[in-house]
């Protein structure tokens, strides 16, 4: 069995992106790192599309009965909070 080869993937970049990347010594490594970081931060529910399917929406609606999306008082990022564990109803969004 031979060594697996890396594949080459290409994409179009507009002038502003090319300008922003000026001076980056290893663009390939930079792009690989950026893609891996983005994939690691992708929403597990929508897969990064920003849109729920009708069935996902049904599951979300059920989940949301005992959970709310709230802003963290420390870092100010929004996050999910289990309201059932707190013994209170979810806040209106």
How open is the CA angle 70-40-86, to the nearest 5 degrees?
25
pLDDT, tens digit, 9 for 90 and up, residues 64-87: 999 999 999 999 999 999 998 776
Domain contains 93: no
CB 67 within 8 A of CB 44: no
CB 52 within 8 A of CB 62: no
Range of the domain at 73: 15-86
Domain contains 3: no
Query: How many domains are there within the chain?
Result: 1
Domain contains 1: no
The CA distance from 35 to 9, in Å, is: 12
Tell me 40's DSSP state: H
- Supply 29's token pair: 């490594």
Judge whether residue 23 has pLDDT over 70: yes
- What is the average pLDDT value for the chain, to the nearest integer? 89
Q: Write down the pLDDT at residue 85.
A: 76
- How would residue 89 be classed by pLDDT, with cut points 50, 70 and 90? low
């Amino acid at each position: 069995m031979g060594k697996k080869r890396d594949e080459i993937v290409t994409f179009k970049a507009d002038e502003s992106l090319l300008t922003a990347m000026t001076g980056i010594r290893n663009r390939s490594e930079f792009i690989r790192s950026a893609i891996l970081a983005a994939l690691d931060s992708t929403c597990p529910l929508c897969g990064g599309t920003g849109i729920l399917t009708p069935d996902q929406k049904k599951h979300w609606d059920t989940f949301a009965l005992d959970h709310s999306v709230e802003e963290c008082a420390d870092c100010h990022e929004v996050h999910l909070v289990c309201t059932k564990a707190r013994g209170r109803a979810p806040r209106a969004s």
